[in-house]
Amino acid sequence: MGASGASQGNDASVARRLAAATDELQVLEKLVISGDCSPRLLSEFRAAVDSIRRTTWAVQRWSELQQQHRDPYTVLDVLSQVRVQRATQLSRELTMDLQSLELSLETEGLAELYRATRGLYDCLAPLFRKRET
């Protein structure tokens, strides 16, 4: 099978998964409306859905710009904004978890999270020091 056939197979696989995800989201919507969910879970779910919505918009826009022979790289800013907003939301949620003692040194992955956030801080700090001067 050539590259074209592989691409078509991947497209079909993505299409099937998107259709299944859409069906599942519709079922979840009915459950959320009829059920009793915690505000925190609903907030986390909304943030995840919003992130997916913005990412899929950016991917769609990228494809449209390519088809129009226009610069698709303008969409990369949107993807960066999505990641920043999601990271901000996750950071706030993790802060609440730490304050409520839901996380501890025994929580798997916490050391890796510390190193990753420390690296992120090290990259962000110079940007904000420049703004302050």
* pLDDT exceeds 50 at position 123: yes
How many Å apart are CA 9 and CA 32, to the nearest integer? 34
Give the global pTM: 0.61
- Measured CA distances, 47 to 36, 117, 130 (Å): 19, 20, 31
Residue 129 is predicted with a pLDDT of 86
Residue 12 is predicted with a pLDDT of 86
* pLDDT exceeds 50 at position 51: yes
Chain-centroid distance, C-alpha 23 = 20
How many Å apart are CA 48 and CA 94, to the nearest integer? 15
Mean pLDDT of 42-69: 87
Residue 133 is predicted with a pLDDT of 62
Which element (helix H / strand E) includes 2? none
pLDDT band at 2 (very low <50, low <70, confident <90, very high): very low
